[in-house]
Structure 1
């Protein structure tokens, strides 16, 4: 669980090592874990949601931020992946709200956290 944090820490301490990271691998990690977020929302599995979200935010997007700040990836690649990630999160919560018939996506998040 802490691997993404240690990777980002290493990136910040030694930016020369960041050139060995693959932007496509980070993007695939973000996409793969992002695909599990709707499942975790639907089944109200807090641990699955936490793990998938953590991996998306820190392992995928966080390392893409490091790659962008060190000028390894283009601005367009970073913005496209950021917009895609945010759009996927919004879509996931919106669809979960529709499936359960709620009026607000925050209700889904509240149920997920409280367990009721």
Structure 2
């Protein structure tokens, strides 16, 4: 009987741990926010610099509109910075990819603004 109680207790603990893991995984996606800064795109690098904090992020374009809008500007060379405003959330960068060199990965969910003209302020220094 004691073995049965121990098994039941372990089963309840395992379910509780699984439930906590699931909640923490979705919390990252629930913290969508609007962020502004400089975006650079090229064959090997997709990066964003938050002008207020100076932090750099790898960019994952889940909306599939950011890279297209950047390409439609027809730059002669890759990696030209543009000013963007996007809705996004942040996730931990994959340690096995180039994105591991960045603070985090910024997952863009909606493109709000993209322009070659970098506004006055911290982004234009």
Q: Do the two structures share a fold, i.e. TM-score over 0.5?
A: no
Which structure carries more strand by proportion? 2
Instruction: Please give the TM-score of this superposition, normalised by the length of structure 1.
Output: 0.28
Instruction: Specify the structure having the higher radius of gyration (Cα).
Output: 2
Instruction: Please give the TM-score of this superposition, normalised by the length of structure 2.
Output: 0.27
Which of structures 1 and 2 has the larger relative contact order (alpha carbons within 8 angstroms, sep 6+)?
1
Which structure carries more helix by proportion? 1
